[in-house]
Amino acid sequence: QKEVEQNSGPLSVPEGAIASLNCTYSDRGSQSFFWYRQYSGKSPELIMSIYSNGDKEDGRFTAQLNKASQYVSLLIRDSQPSDSATYLCAGDTNAGKSTFGDGTTLTVKP
Amino acid sequence: KAGVTQTPRYLIKTRGQQVTLSCSPISGHRSVSWYQQTPGQGLQFLFEYFSETQRNKGNFPGRFSGRQFSNSRSEMNVSTLELGDSALYLCASSADRGMGQPQHFGDGTRLSIL
């Protein structure tokens, strides 16, 4: 079992819909969680970070964390074709160990 | 503020050779991490350096090594290259790791082994 599992894609949503990306982790030492977006041929770029249970909103993006269930999610509202990319979930322990999921590829269709 | 700079961007080597990749972190960042990304294996953690010391290490053979200099710049070396080492090598810097600090990635070095 991978330490960080993401829902297998690819995920396709129509423009304007909500895209839901999910991630579970096995290391209970993980304290900080990050979502990165990676366009094809490019490097990952940070879009959200979340450290405590609950929701964190930033524009069209909402990250959710539930440490009891070891679950992290990213919601993208009003999805745009420019959101089409691979989304990587990552968890960091306080010791600095960082583990990435394999990513979920999202396609937003006009 | 300049981002993370990796050089070279592309590299072609043959089996058995060795290669050195370079990474200059964002100014003020002391933590540098290296990752290997391949289509089949995703993003795999190689190692992390902080203040010139290797602080964390992934599950890669000893052919993969690195170091960090006093100005936080880092190099990664791969010796006795194998075909399976063909990948995108990414460097990421952060102010610190394990303190909730996110990582910022460079554009990567694409290494092809012939």
**Is the separation of the CB atoms in B78 and B62 below 8 Å?**
no
As a whole number of angstroms, the longest Cα–Cα distance in chain A is: 43
pLDDT tens for each residue of B62-103: 999 999 999 999 999 999 999 999 999 999 999 876 667 889
Q: Rounded to an integer, what distance in angstroms lies between the CA atom of residue A85 and that of residue A64?
A: 20
Residue from the list B45, B50, B107 with its beta carbon closest to the beta carbon of A98:
B45
B42, B50, B97 member nearest A92 (Cβ): B97
Instruction: Judge: B98–A99 Cβ closer than 8 Å, yes or no.
Output: no
Whether B36 and B21 have beta carbons less than 8 Å apart is answered as no
B94 interfacial to chain A (CB closer than 8 Å): no
Q: Do B50 and A96 touch (CB under 8 A)?
A: yes
pLDDT of residue A8: 74
Asked if the Cβ–Cβ distance from B97 to A42 is below 8 Å, we say no
A46-68 pLDDT, tens per residue?
A: 999 999 999 999 999 999 999 99
Burial of A34 from C-beta contacts in 10 A (0-12 / 13-18 / 19+): buried
> Residue B45: its chain A contacts at CB < 8 A?
97-100
The confidence score (pLDDT) of residue A23 equals 95
CA dihedral B55, B60, B64, B68 (to 10 degrees): -10
